[in-house]
């Protein structure tokens, strides 16, 4: 059985630009806005549906979807009822970002991973809504020297699994290619060239791009497994760490950076939240 992993975000979805950015605001946190329900959900659903349909038409048997935008909100951004029957979602409480639970629910050797609706990291030029997990307070998160945002967390969680494609803002591909140089990069918007197509226009672009990416599967590579992950979490101006007297999980702190090492990626990502607990806003 060929099992495909899809990690979906929303800032890099088709049809969502600076002019209609409120379409990103999840209703559970921003009930004053209606654009998420009226428009934004349709955008990310179209992108995910294009990926799923192309994957199934290419022989994929099962698709596992993690809808990660505004993790912690109960309702999915993707309209699950619009997706093919071969798609199921990862079972995590309120869609929270528990990478260990996510990895445990997938096959030991999935066929591949695809990231969709992706945005660029904090500091990227010519990008729509660039940020690293949540910025501020996070300026950068490094794992083994790579600036890791949402794309990196997903792909590294599935280390050893071929990274087939990244779909999103043109600027998001830089992170994807640092994780795997052979990943297929499918753009749905480009701030630099002011290319802002609708989701109806990008559906065939995504569909055909995924068909081609899977046809090129033999050339796809995975982020490699390693026996040590060295991490650094750097804060933006205006924030600092409340440095603990003792750190049982082995972290060390400076005013605006935290450091730790781990023998496996899931522990490394868990420690991200341990360090995050010590973040304080400057008075």
Count Cα neighbours of 272 within 13 Å in the Cβ-side half-sphere.
25
By the 8 A CB rule, do 139 and 132 touch? yes
Give me the sign of the Cα torsion angle 182, 183, 187, 191. Answer: negative
Map out the domains of the chain as residue ranges. Answer: 3-123+149-219, 229-281
| Cα–Cα distance for residue pair 68/8, rounded to 1 Å | 6
Distances, alpha carbon 108 to alpha carbons 95, 164, 239, in Å: 22, 17, 39
Q: 213 vs 247, which has greater pLDDT?
A: 213
pLDDT digits (tens, 9 = 90+) for 44-100: 999 999 999 999 999 999 999 999 999 999 999 999 999 999 999 999 999 999 999
Kindly give, in sequence order, each residue whose CB lies less than 8 Å from that of residue 140, ignoring residues fewer than 6 positions away: 121, 122, 123, 132, 147, 232, 233, 234
* Contact call for residues 205 and 186 (beta carbons, < 8 A): yes
The pLDDT value recorded for residue 81 is: 98
Specify the pairing of strand 163-169 against strand 112-118: parallel
Q: What distance lies between CA 32 and its chain's CA centroid? A: 26
Rg of the chain (C-alpha set): 18
Confidence band, pLDDT 50/70/90 cuts, at residue 279: very high
Classify each residue of 28-37 as buried b or exposed e, where b means 16 or more C-beta atoms within 10 Å of its C-beta. eeeeebebbe
| Cross-strand partners of 235 | 138
pTM over 0.85: yes
Q: Are 44 and 53 in contact (CB under 8 A)?
A: no
Class of the domain covering 3-123+149-219: alpha beta
pLDDT single digits (tens) 15-31: 999 999 999 999 999 99
Where do we find the tokens 């969502």?
16
- What does the pLDDT look like over 179-217, one tens digit per residue? 999 999 999 999 999 999 999 999 999 999 999 999 999
Can you tell me the distance from the alpha carbon of 21 to that of 64, in angstroms, rounded to the nearest whole number? 28
CA distance 30 to 245: 38
Contact present, 257 and 232 (Cβ < 8 Å)? yes
Angle between helices 199-215 and 41-57 (to 10 degrees): 30
Residue 240: what pLDDT? 97
Lookup result for tokens 């660039």:
130
Termini Cα distance of the chain: 55
- Host H or E run for residue 45: helix 41-57
């Amino acid at each position: 059985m060929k099992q495909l992993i899809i990690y979906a975000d929303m800032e890099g979805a088709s049809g969502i630009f600076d002019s209609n950015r409120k379409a990103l605001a999840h209703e559970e946190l921003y009930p004053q806005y209606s654009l998420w329900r009226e428009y934004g959900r349709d955008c990310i659903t179209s992108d995910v549906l294009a990926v799923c349909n192309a994957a199934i038409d290419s022989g994929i048997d099962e698709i596992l979807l993690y809808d990660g935008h505004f993790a912690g909100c109960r309702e999915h951004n993707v309209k699950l009822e619009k997706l093919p029957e071969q798609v199921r979602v990862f079972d995590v409480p309120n869609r929270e970002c528990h990478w260990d639970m996510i990895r445990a629910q997938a096959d030991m050797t999935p066929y591949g991973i695809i990231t969709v609706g992706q945005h660029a990291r904090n500091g990227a030029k010519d990008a729509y809504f660039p940020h690293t997990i949540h910025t501020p307070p996070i300026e950068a998160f490094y794992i083994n020297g790579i600036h890791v945002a949402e794309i990196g967390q997903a792909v590294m969680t599935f280390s050893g699994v071929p990274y087939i494609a990244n779909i999103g803002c043109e600027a998001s591909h830089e992170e994807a290619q640092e994780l795997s140089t052979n990943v297929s990069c499918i753009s749905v918007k480009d701030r630099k060239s002011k290319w802002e197509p609708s989701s109806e226009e990008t559906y065939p672009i995504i569909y055909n791009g995924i068909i081609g990416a899977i046809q090129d599967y033999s050339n796809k590579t995975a982020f490699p497994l390693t026996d040590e992950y060295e991490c650094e979490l750097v804060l933006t101006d205006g924030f600092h760490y409340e440095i603990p007297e003792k750190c049982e999980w082995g972290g060390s702190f400076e005013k605006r950076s935290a450091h730790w090492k781990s023998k496996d990626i899931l522990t490394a990502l868990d420690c991200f939240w341990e360090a995050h607990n010590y973040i304080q806003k400057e008075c």
